[in-house]
Structure 1
Amino acid sequence: MTPSKRPLFLPTSRKEMEQAGYDELDILLITGDCYVDHPSFGVAIIGRLLESLGYRVGLIAQPDWKDPEALKIMGRPRIGCGVTSGNMDSMVNIYTVGRRLRKDDCFSENGEIGKRPPHALTVYAQLVRQAFPGINVQLGGLEASFRRVAHYDYWQDKIRPSVLIDSKADVLVYGMGERPTPEVYRRWAEGLPLDGIRGTARLLGKKAAEAFDPKDQYLELPSYEETLADKDALMTSTRMIEAEMNYLGGRGLFQRYGDRIVVIEPPPEVLTPEELDKVHELPYARMPHPKYKGRIPAFETIKDSIQAVRGCPGGCAFCGLVVHQGRHVMSRSEDSIMRELDAIADQPFFKGTVSDVGGAAGNIYQSRYDLERCRRCKRSSCLYPAPCPNYTCTGLEIVRLLRRMSAHPKVKHVYINSGIRLDLALRQPELLRELISKHVSGHLKVAPEHLNPEVLKLMRKSSAEEFYKFMELFEKISKECGKEQYLIPLFISNFPGCSGKEMKTVDDFLEKHHWSLQQVQDYIPLPMTMGAAMYYTGKAPDGREIVVNRGLAERREQIGVLKKRRSGNAINSDPARRCWEKAPRRPGRNRPAGGFKKPGR
């Protein structure tokens, strides 16, 4: 098929298959999100990447998870199926901190709830097995990354096994997936084994487990049975996983499940800037599939923004980003970003304002590393407890990029709404002045998260003094520019180790400065994060016992501290959602004993 005749979207029906010239699919992708063909949506990236390699790819979004026939609309794919729950863990997407159903789903048409099941990755994989017996099944996406080993599930309040156990999938791809996913399908197409693919995990049966020889290339995690019997085993596992997340020197891991073994290969190599550029410049339609007639909130949030980086150097204990993207920052080239800006500027919805340029933060673009020295690194953060001397980010490249974008003939404003890292910003004086004077849309997001020094240590966050200093600089530069601008700080309540005494530090600060918060957050333990290990064990990483508020009755006091300072409907109950929500939602009420609601159809 010539490029001029290529359909704008990946096929989602038999009719669209025929329009694409396909008599059968090679690969079928299944997602729990609406189909938005945009590089901010993981399934679109993987679909377009596989398509660019010559595979015939189809996509089914939000299928009826109770009916295997829903997956048969385009026939049985020749090579296999890829399954993702979407851009978020399905449990985070469906339930609040109070284990109540959320009132909306920002990845569904008109925010409608009930379009995906709890533990969607497992449900979809089992549905694939029913629809196409014997077919190859691959797991991917954020939920796969979060649940690749035995982990604590907050919503069920128990340890769950690797998602490979319940889903019965053949292979799991963790991380962003551009390197391992094509290799998985190539080997399937050629009838080759899947062992040794970096960025993947596999479940070995009894015979294969007996033959498995870890040598010095794999470390053994506490077994599933040990993790069930001893809470401290989860902390041990988490610390080991964090130490091996470095793609330059990280080793593989394995975990026993009775007479079976889950083998987790070392992290995949990050993409080069040239490769990341190519991924973002695949032929996306850059819009939702035309079958959707309503608005998709997540798309509305990102449609006029540009992702400039991947990864995060922070390694905060409450955040799952490093579990998925890693802590090494990958940056796109200026030219690639400008080409994407050209594409956005040509869209009919564009009014001259770029709402955001960034990623995990707005001031980590063009981070630099001494990679040879990084090979030996076992740190969980490049910035905590102090910035690593191997890591630098001057901010000067960001200044140059922002000035170049601002000079675009169709651009009126370029804003940074990703939020910025305070610990970096204070060492980026030219960027700080450029941001505050030209690229703040009246409000600038910052995330001190807390102000008590002991809680900040547990969070792996910079000191409160840096936040206070940043406040002074922000006010000073804003006045010099003649602008009335405000900070939007984010604080977390009920993080492990935070009692009412520690929370009073935040309350006293807010009282002193007469601040009304627009965005606050009650802590949710995300699977595989250090925060989840602390919450589950009741211990800090060094083994000392810490206070943990578990039920809503215990949590209510600290939630109240932030809610009373809140302006409008601005409670946000987890870090995974806040990068997508412009208007965070209220947490649910307390649930009675006996579990939590399941979404209806």
Structure 2
Amino acid sequence: MPFLPITLEEMKEYGWEQPDFVYIIGDAYIDHPSFGPAIISRVLENFGYKVCIVSQPDINDDKPFKLFGKPRLAFLVCAGNIDSMVDHYSVSKKRRKKDYYTPNGEMGKRPDRALIRYCSKLKELYPDVPVVCGGIEASLRRLNHYDYWDDSVRRSVLLDSHADLLLYGMGEKTIVQVADALDSGLDIKDIIYIRNSVWKTKDKSLLPDDAVWLPSYDEVLADKMNYVKSFQIQYKNTDPFTGKTLIEPYKNIYVVQNPPEFPLSQDEMDATYSLPYMRACHPLIEAKGHVPAIDEVKFSVISNRGCYGGCHFCALTMHQGRIIQSRTKESILEEIKIISKDKDFKGYIHDIGGPTANFYRPACGKQLKHGVCTQRECIGYDPCKNLEVDHSEYLDILKEARKLPGIKKVFVRSGLRYDYIMYDKNPEFFEELIKYHISGQLKVAPEHIADEVLVRMGKPSRGLYDQFVKRYEDLNHKFGMDQYLVPYLMSSHPGSTLNSAIELAEYLRDSGHMPEQVQDFYPTPGTASTCMYYTGIDPFRGDKVYVTKNPHEKAMQRALMQYKLPQNYDLVYEALTKAGRQDLIGFDKKCLIKPRGSKVGYIPPRRGKEIKTGGKK
């Protein structure tokens, strides 16, 4: 089965005179199930619809948008696998040098706020043709949201883009319902009943009587507490079983969010991932240069979606929801067999996982019948007493995968929740992970070690992480392994003070870990942490939270995480002095830096070898 058409010649080879849908995407066209447009286009194809792809069109040129002419049903628009502003700018708001979703990693092949620009262009050229937008940029900006780059609250992207309909979350079911409705002759303005969709109207009589009203956009602009209230309502209505229709009023229009779609069954998940993906970049695009984004996923398998981890700086709850949806073992193994036939395959499966690899089943048995709890988190800082911890099915998949012909090694590289591992009373998964599924180093995400920060992050306590590190070291010794632990750490998250950052620096001193890269907290649309950053209020606890927005203080917190670097000396010295921690300036082994005038020396760690644990005795 070939790629879907990206040129008129290819469309003619299919024997089509007119496509049903023209799909505008901000990434290079990669037909792989790790990329949303590939899934949506293949699902539509599977239901008999004709889809043509326009990849990374020049926003200043009308020709790419007119390439296939007027589609029979609608234009579809996706800004890309990553929000275009996150893709283009670092947390310091500096332009990135590389776009991993573009040939040769070239930057500038899509515009800032790509969803708005693409949809507006289509409405300018084809005002009477329906425009349906989706993807991560649409999903997380579907209602009012704080925009870090503007430092302001923006309204629903459905209004700013002039699109007719917005589809949020994972859209396999939704897009087929929309396609069928349009195909039946229904006007796009009448498609107001489909789950996972957001629509707009000036007609108040169309609004459902049982809907929940959000604070108006003007009210949100006028009072940050209304922003908190709006976020709280949105967050509590991300579950398909309990979620209500939400209405966000504007001066002369209403934006209406229908409830989320129900989770895919295992059969539906299997069907989605068994579609005839080419698992590669379209040859005409690859001819322009290699697209780096394919490298990590080409030999990886998605086993699940959704996440109940509750990390407050992550937007997965607002996009994929908290209910885990997984594929059968048979489906996963079949995909691995397909991968093993690739001419470039060397015998290594890079990953079997998802947003959280070891979340293979819902957090508890009630979720698939009654939904998730709206007043409590499944795991977070403190786990729910009803959390069901079981790695057996996931471990069985890993065991069977490594037995397949031609498979030398199966790695787990997507996120692992170390707390979930520690809650498992059966040690088999942890032992098997260390013996067979780590490529020399295990990456985990404690994010911080100060409890006053961790509780704001929705991460478990430092004490549990310390137990995990000890257990990891013990198991490496037990099996005679020489492996490393790489903790991801974050600076300047809401709740983090200079004292918190110093506590983290002391932990790094004691553990011997010196991170090569430091991640500042990045306020992105749709997260609870972004709500804290903008308002100074924790939307879960309702109390005030310390937030640093001062670039200099953020630089000090970041420098403390790399206190040994000579170029950070002045910032670290200033931070310790400002916090009254001069006891950490001196020659004692507990000190972070030496007094001024002393020789400052630093030997960097070996690249990639962060915390060495285990090793043969």
Compute the TM-score of the two structures, normalised by the length of structure 2. 0.88
Describe the SS at the equivalent of 1:188: helix
Is structure 2 residue 242 aligned with structure 1 residue 245?
no
Is structure 2 residue 390 aligned with structure 1 residue 394?
yes
**Alignment-derived partner of residue 296 in structure 2:** 301
Code of the residue aligned with 1:475 in structure 2: it is E
Residue by residue over 1:124-170, the C-alpha shift from the partner in whole angstroms, topping out at 9 and shown as x without a partner, is 00111123221000010001111000100001101100001111111
1:324 to 315, 319, 324: 319
Confirm or deny: 8 A CA contact 2:310 2:317 kept in the other structure.
yes
Residue by residue over 1:467-491, the C-alpha shift from the partner in whole angstroms, topping out at 9 and shown as x without a partner, is 1000011111111111111111011
**Alignment-derived partner of residue 163 in structure 1:** 157
How far residue 360 of structure 1 moved from its aligned partner, in angstroms, is: 1.2
Code of the residue aligned with 2:283 in structure 1: it is P
Confirm or deny: 8 A CA contact 1:153 1:527 kept in the other structure.
yes
Give the unaligned 5+ runs of structure 2: 567-606, 609-617
Q: Within 5 Å, give how 1:340-355 maps onto structure 2.
A: 340-355=335-350
2:399 to 403, 407, 423: 403
Describe the SS at the equivalent of 1:369: coil
Is structure 2 residue 198 aligned with structure 1 residue 201?
yes
Is structure 2 residue 140 aligned with structure 1 residue 146?
yes
**Alignment-derived partner of residue 599 in structure 2:** none
Q: Distance in 2 between matches of 1:394 and 1:379?
A: 24
Describe the SS at the equivalent of 2:405: coil
Residue by residue over 1:216-259, the C-alpha shift from the partner in whole angstroms, topping out at 9 and shown as x without a partner, is 2x111111101111112111111111111111111111100112
**Alignment-derived partner of residue 518 in structure 2:** 520
**Alignment-derived partner of residue 492 in structure 1:** 490
Q: Distance in 2 between matches of 1:188 and 1:58?
A: 17
Code of the residue aligned with 1:290 in structure 2: it is P
Is structure 2 residue 559 aligned with structure 1 residue 560?
yes
Greater CA drift, 177-186 or 372-381 = 372-381
Residue by residue over 1:519-569, the C-alpha shift from the partner in whole angstroms, topping out at 9 and shown as x without a partner, is 5311111112111110001122233322212142231111112344689xx
How far residue 384 of structure 1 moved from its aligned partner, in angstroms, is: 2.5
**Alignment-derived partner of residue 258 in structure 1:** 251
Greater CA drift, 483-492 or 186-195 = 186-195
**Alignment-derived partner of residue 383 in structure 1:** 379
1:437 to 429, 435, 438: 435
How far residue 390 of structure 1 moved from its aligned partner, in angstroms, is: 4.4
**Alignment-derived partner of residue 219 in structure 2:** 226
How far residue 188 of structure 1 moved from its aligned partner, in angstroms, is: 1.6
Confirm or deny: 8 A CA contact 1:515 1:565 kept in the other structure.
no
Q: Distance in 1 between matches of 2:217 and 2:326?
A: 37
The structure number with the bigger radius of gyration is 2
Confirm or deny: 8 A CA contact 1:316 1:381 kept in the other structure.
no
Confirm or deny: 8 A CA contact 1:365 1:393 kept in the other structure.
no
How far residue 516 of structure 1 moved from its aligned partner, in angstroms, is: 2.1
Confirm or deny: 8 A CA contact 1:366 1:393 kept in the other structure.
no
How far residue 376 of structure 1 moved from its aligned partner, in angstroms, is: 6.8
Q: Distance in 2 between matches of 1:399 and 1:560?
A: 40
Q: Within 5 Å, give how 1:6-405 maps onto structure 2.
A: 6=1, 8-192=2-186, 193-205=190-202, 208=203, 210-216=204-210, 218-291=211-284, 292-293=286-287, 294-367=289-362, 368-371=364-367, 374-375=370-371, 377-379=373-375, 381-405=377-401
1:508 to 497, 506, 509: 506
Q: Distance in 2 between matches of 1:510 and 1:453?
A: 16
Q: Distance in 1 between matches of 2:118 and 2:376?
A: 33
Q: Distance in 2 between matches of 1:42 and 1:423?
A: 29
Residue by residue over 1:29-87, the C-alpha shift from the partner in whole angstroms, topping out at 9 and shown as x without a partner, is 11100000000000010000001111111000100011222111112101001101010
**Alignment-derived partner of residue 587 in structure 1:** none
Aligned pair count reads 559
State the identity as a percent.
38
2:475 to 460, 471, 477: 477
Confirm or deny: 8 A CA contact 1:492 1:520 kept in the other structure.
yes
Describe the SS at the equivalent of 2:423: coil
Distance 1:115 1:23, change over 3 A: same
How far residue 118 of structure 1 moved from its aligned partner, in angstroms, is: 1.0
Is structure 2 residue 460 aligned with structure 1 residue 466?
no
Q: Distance in 2 between matches of 1:516 and 1:419?
A: 21
Compute the TM-score of the two structures, normalised by the length of structure 1. 0.90
Is structure 2 residue 421 aligned with structure 1 residue 425?
yes
How far residue 377 of structure 1 moved from its aligned partner, in angstroms, is: 2.1
Residue by residue over 1:87-140, the C-alpha shift from the partner in whole angstroms, topping out at 9 and shown as x without a partner, is 011110001111110010111111110011111111000111123221000010
Distance 1:211 1:386, change over 3 A: same
Give the unaligned 5+ runs of structure 1: 1-5, 568-582, 585-601
Q: Distance in 1 between matches of 2:349 and 2:466?
A: 29
Q: Distance in 2 between matches of 1:500 and 1:328?
A: 37
How far residue 380 of structure 1 moved from its aligned partner, in angstroms, is: 6.1
Confirm or deny: 8 A CA contact 1:84 1:121 kept in the other structure.
yes
Describe the SS at the equivalent of 2:293: helix
Code of the residue aligned with 1:381 in structure 2: it is E
Q: Distance in 1 between matches of 2:167 and 2:138?
A: 7
